[in-house]
Structure 1
């Protein structure tokens, strides 16, 4: 059954019942007298009934109006309670966030913990995939926003800078290149490389940094996960290039060694990606605030 009356019509009815005057009721509701009069007329016309009798300039409730008043009051009170509840919980709901592997595994989980701690009852779904997959799911509105490593240009997407990052070339402590103070292009050509797959932001930055040299490199192994790449490098299968974010602990332990390539630029940025037509809910805005605060 479709409800034909509106809550606004009920508000008008109750205001007129209280003030017994359309003009005063309209002023109370911050609407014009004609709009208030029209709302009452529409409500009565829907059911071909009358709620008021005119007594001079006053409108007095008739018997039907007096019976209807408390029920309308109760219904509107419930509606206001629901509105208040929804307002107080507007930041909750379900937030669907996508993050690339580096961000998802090393940064996003801590932000998610802060988000949920500050908003008890909030639900966050974190999907971890490569940049191409995250972008596709933001485009199809399956994700509320994405945290990505790669740059892009799409008319339906907004790309917002988040934080700076840097890729690092590295190897195992026993690798022949580990003792070199700086690598040359010839060293890079001669090495066996273990790299991220095409479509990842890390691979995009890697190829940009080694522009003009990529076609000559020995890309011996492509892997989708940073931890798998780190393990492969530790066993001596080759050298690699990943975000400093995911290498800090390994460098501290000494299980991996940083290689200097000063003549190549491995700097990049992490970005937020959002659909331009997506409503920026309070939950989305709060997530962005926490991400930005995590850099300070």
Structure 2
């Protein structure tokens, strides 16, 4: 075999950081050792994996094509090492979740996962749909749990569970006594919404197709709790996942508003890189998610 696992580690770290010095630091190597490992692998096969742009090393088309295979091979080697050491076959899982899922569902899933698989490790990264998709695509995350619609030829997008957005207001808001909001009510209201790039905002915008440019959007916030607090303060009305509003509705600090003829249903998805090696921990995570929430 003409390449080593260490060379693959240097290749992948350099692809991630786009800088040989940062790649070396992440692997606890000297810069010269990392540079030599990368050069040797390229010279052994008479190839070039990166375009040198100043101090930055940018993956070229060949490097991009091989990256997924290298990731898969290295992950399998790590699993084999764990098995040889007679430790748990479940390794270190990096999960990304959008804000609604991360704040209201993922912690429960993580708790069950760790109970059922002693010795497992899980890292959770919470961000909006666009950010999670980018990290899965860049092999920074093993699996993403998202609430937005995306399309990318490099990603597997797997339907998970149905969700519903709910429009809501404070109990003493002028619209609170309305059984159903009219089109005029929707247009006259001041809205407090999630930011662009979030799955919740994407679903809301689709639901308001035809009148979206006419809406008065007072605030765009990145966190669901901030939106709920602003709505409780009567700054406007909001629209979030029913999952995020369950407790507030139960205690009466917020109340739902009905909007006829607007489709506020949506889908949650799993996303994985198509070239990602799916070990047992990824499969068990997906199975647990589907058993707990479907």
Q: Same fold (TM over 0.5)?
A: yes
1:177 match: secondary structure: helix
SS in 1 for 2:105: helix
Please state if 1:207 is matched with 2:202: no
Contact 1:90/1:282, CA 8 A, preserved across alignment:
no
TM-score by length of 1: 0.71
Which residue in 2 is equivalent to 1:43? none
Contact in 1 for aligned 2:82/2:88 (Cα 8 Å)? no
Q: Which residue of 1 aligns with 2:143?
A: 145
Aligned ranges for residues 137-286 of structure 1 at < 5 Å? 137-286=135-284
Instruction: Name the SS for the 1:97 alignment partner.
Output: strand
Higher mean C-alpha deviation, range 248-257 or range 85-94: 85-94
The total of aligned residue pairs comes to 217
RMSD: 1.8
> How many Å apart are 1:87 and its aligned residue?
8.8
1:130-177 CA deviation, whole Å, 9 max, x = no partner?
000000000000000100000111100111010000000000000000
Work out the CA distance in 2 between the residues paired with 1:243 and 1:149: 10
| Structure number with bigger Rg | 1
Q: Using the TM superposition, give the Cα deviation of residue 120 of structure 1 relative to its aligned residue in structure 2, in angstroms.
A: 1.1
Task: After superposing the two structures, state which structure 1 stretch, 90-99 or 220-229, moved more.
Answer: 90-99
Distance in 2 between residues matched to 1:84 and 1:141, nearest whole Å: 21
* Alignment partner, residue 121 of structure 1: 119
Residues 84 and 103 from structure 1, CA distance in 2 versus in 1: closer, same or farther, beyond 3 angstroms? closer
Q: CA deviation at 1:91?
A: 3.7
Structure 1 ranges of 4+ moved more than 3 A: 82-91
Q: What secondary structure sits across from 1:247 in the alignment?
A: helix
TM-score (norm 2): 0.71
Long gaps (5+) in structure 2: 3-79
